[in-house]
Structure 1
Amino acid sequence: MGSSLKKLFCVPDEFFDPAYDFDFTHMSKSNSDSDCKRGNEPYERPYGWKRFALKVRDKYPDGNAWLGTDGWRNHSDPGEWPVSYHGTSVQRAEGIIKTRYKVGGGKMWGRGIYSTPDIDVADSFSTTVKPIKNGKTYSVIIQNRVNPKNRKIIEDMDYWLIPIPDGTSAEKEKEIVESSIRPYGLLIKEDKEYFFSKILAR
């Protein structure tokens, strides 16, 4: 990954694809962002975050159309899936990257995998981590593509749910998850608001 941020994770280099890394840290929204689409749906670029690309090309049996074409673009490509975000912890991010999403039990909306198209919503679920060496605090989010055919939209909360019923076998669960939600980026951000709130609380 070519960065000290890599040391936050116990994930081998073989899981990453540095050619597709992108640093949104010092970028901000522009007027053209309102027209940005992925999967024919609005795409909120992860401004303020650094993205480390995961190695996903040719990983799945149905090809790469779900990712769309490479490069900076506003339009959506045929067969492309929309983007979602999942706020998490370093430890859980490691597990997602190395294997896949594990099913959680949402009490209100049901069992399955939850994510959101709103990166600020995802950030509210991100667990901060503070490495010993540099003393800075970071937040972690997983960037995904979601199969629109397999999701349930919870509009009031701006969540997307991949439903997985109770009693689903491990094999079937794996099949549903991998055909419905695919992580393709690890997002890391220095959490300055968290840092300053700690300073003011002293």
Structure 2
Amino acid sequence: MEVDKYILTEALSAILGVTVKLQSDCNDLDGAIKLQIAKLTTLALLKNEPVTCLTSSLSRLFVGDKKQSQETPRSESASSSVRKELFVISDDFFDPKFDFDFTNMSKPNFDSCMRGNEPYKRPYGWMRFALKVRDKYPDGNAWLGTEGWRSCSTPGEWPVSYHGTDLQGAAGIIQSQYMSGDRQAYGRGVYSSPDINIADMFAKTKNFISQKNGNTYKVIMQNRINPQIREKKTQYIWLVPIPEGTSVEEKKIVETSIRPYGLLLKKMEA
């Protein structure tokens, strides 16, 4: 699948529910918010990620010593305006050497890959675009496992899960359940699935029409999930429980539990 960085920013915009652009494509960065890899999870999953936490240092970076009109923390209603903000990513936000094309692959009769001591159900039918996550977290890279093809897990590796929730749907994924309709919920928290087909069926998966080439794509996030925090509710439904509390506590739980490492795209037929 031939996809350039512009289309990948469109995919990020769709799954996050915000406008994401390459920093090099922006002539005017006044007020823009730099999207860091380590902040991607909380932006995707927590609707109340404070805008001021992301903008204060960035504004100084992009607009010099320009005095900000509001230095005090914004109210909760104001912080929800994060959805209307412009986010920018560096040109090396993605890591093409770890991209993998599953679009024309079908599941073999015997597929025994393991990641984090769990079966790794590879995303057949999708194209994975890797995020540059190595060396971005203080605890190192063990959660990703070792590089290169392998069928077994490595020490300290986290298993793989999938979800496709945008920012507007984040309230539902936190307060209610991962699956839609009248299906059973297992408590408050972040739900994901180790099976791409389950995520495709039940997640708030986003379709978007690319302004670059006019094609329609579906996008899902591929994550690693902390096995020490994750709870298995069924064979296909995993939960990171988030009890009632402050947004700071929620943010800490999410950041230590789920780490996106790839965007999965599927071109839809016209």
- Structure-1-length-normalised TM-score: 0.79
- Is 2:122 aligned against 1:45? yes
Indicate the residue corresponding to 1:137 in structure 2.
216
**Identity rate of aligned residues, in percent?**
57
Q: CA deviation at 1:103?
A: 6.5
- Is 2:213 aligned against 1:128? no
Distance 2:100 2:7 in 1: 14
Give unpaired runs (5+ residues) of structure 1.
97-101, 196-202
Q: CA deviation at 1:171?
A: 2.6
- Is 2:217 aligned against 1:147? no
Q: CA deviation at 1:71?
A: 1.3
Amino acid at match of 2:103: T
For residues 27-42 of structure 1, the aligned pairs below 5 Å read: 27-33=105-111, 35-42=112-119
Once the two structures are superposed, residues 147-171 of structure 1 have per-residue CA deviations (whole angstroms, 9 ceiling, x without a partner) of 1110121217x2111111112x333
Amino acid at match of 2:151: N
Aligned-residue Cα RMSD (Å) equals 2.6
Q: CA deviation at 1:132?
A: 4.4
Q: CA deviation at 1:31?
A: 3.5
Q: CA deviation at 1:65?
A: 0.6
Distance 2:193 2:144 in 1: 17
| Alignment match of 2:196 (pick from 92, 104, 119) | 119
- Partner-residue secondary structure (3-state), 1:28: coil
Q: Report if the CA contact (8 A) 2:143-2:156 is conserved.
A: yes
Distance 2:233 2:164 in 1: 17
Q: Report if the CA contact (8 A) 1:123-1:139 is conserved.
A: no
Indicate the residue corresponding to 2:260 in structure 1.
183
- Is 2:256 aligned against 1:173? no
Indicate the residue corresponding to 2:65 in structure 1.
none
Distance 1:173 1:7 in 2: 26
Indicate the residue corresponding to 2:139 in structure 1.
62
Amino acid at match of 1:15: F
Amino acid at match of 2:239: L
- Partner-residue secondary structure (3-state), 2:158: coil
Once the two structures are superposed, residues 109-161 of structure 1 have per-residue CA deviations (whole angstroms, 9 ceiling, x without a partner) of 222211100101111221222224544321110000111110121217x2111
- Partner-residue secondary structure (3-state), 1:110: coil
Indicate the residue corresponding to 1:110 in structure 2.
187
Q: CA deviation at 1:84?
A: 0.3
Which stretch of the first structure deviates more once superposed, 123-132 or 60-69?
123-132
- Partner-residue secondary structure (3-state), 1:104: helix
What is the number of equivalent residue pairs in this alignment?
182
Q: CA deviation at 1:32?
A: 4.1
- Structure-2-length-normalised TM-score: 0.61
Which stretch of the first structure deviates more once superposed, 19-28 or 63-72?
19-28
| Alignment match of 2:8 (pick from 6, 9, 20) | 6
Give unpaired runs (5+ residues) of structure 2.
12-19, 22-88, 178-184
